[in-house]
Amino acid sequence: MTIAAHPILRPEHSAAATRDAAGSAAASGAEAEFSGRQREVLDVVLRLMVAEGDGFSVAAVARAASCSKETLYKWFGDRDGLLTATVRWQASKVQMPKLPRDGLTRASLSAALTGFAESWLTVITSDLSIALNRAAVSHAGSGKSRLGEIVLTNGPFAMKSRIEPLLEAGRAAGLLGFEDVADAFRSFFGLVVADTQIRLLLGDDSHPDDAEIKTISARAVTKFLGLYRQG
């Protein structure tokens, strides 16, 4: 688990822009994976998807990004490679919590889960993520492209692999009780995301603002800890 300005593109929620980058292992990994120029190109792809859907060509990306098609093919291989990199770049904007060095407490676990939830909601409710997910849904099962598979692998599945170590650490510290970490993640996902993403995908214009995201996240974490609290 959601990224230069196009006329129809609203700015990203400020919560994402102001989050402490030091707490994001995923974002720093993406910055190491992609050069600054490559990230600029991937942002161009995201803007094109907001404006035009996923019907863009590699040539259109090259024109909009002021680079050659040869450069794009060298960097990303093919169109699927470009889409995969774009999804990975967008997903990397979800800020990952750092495990406390002096041991996990109820307060630090709650803070880490809440920070992750806020960042996750901020990214997936952005215009960029909504455009990306709409395109993925339209292609799923159609055989037109691998975009659905790419988004599933680098979106929800990637979020699961990132947050599970924190859930496992909570269990190891005696703060959480569950048998299957995958089940615990599904509960966390349902409480945090709820129906927010599907409503936006279906055209609801009521994007949650920073304050609403904080409220939703805090409420979701409180409920999650109530379900899985140990001791």
Tens-level pLDDT at each residue, the chain (231 residues)? 333 322 222 233 333 333 333 334 444 455 668 999 999 999 999 999 888 877 788 999 999 999 999 999 999 999 889 988 999 999 999 988 777 777 899 999 999 999 999 999 999 999 999 999 998 888 777 776 788 888 998 888 999 999 999 999 999 999 999 999 999 999 999 999 999 999 999 999 888 999 999 999 999 999 999 999 976
**d(Cα 183, Cα 208) in Å, to the nearest integer?**
27
Range of the domain at 42: 14-228
Residue 213 CA neighbour count, 13 Å, CB half: 22
**d(Cα 99, Cα 206) in Å, to the nearest integer?**
34
Q: Is residue 7 part of a domain?
A: no
Q: For tokens 């590699």, name the residue.
A: 58
Q: Is residue 65 part of a domain?
A: yes
Torsion of CA 197, 76, 28, 165, to 10 degrees: 60
Q: Is residue 138 part of a domain?
A: yes
Q: Is residue 9 part of a domain?
A: no
Mapped to the 3 state alphabet, what secondary structure does 43-95 carry? HHHHHHHHHHCCCCCHHHHHHHHCCCHHHHHHHHCCHHHHHHHHHHHHHCCCC
How many domains in the chain? Answer: 1
CATH number at residue 169: 1.10.357.10
| pLDDT score of 202 | 94
Q: Is residue 1 part of a domain?
A: no
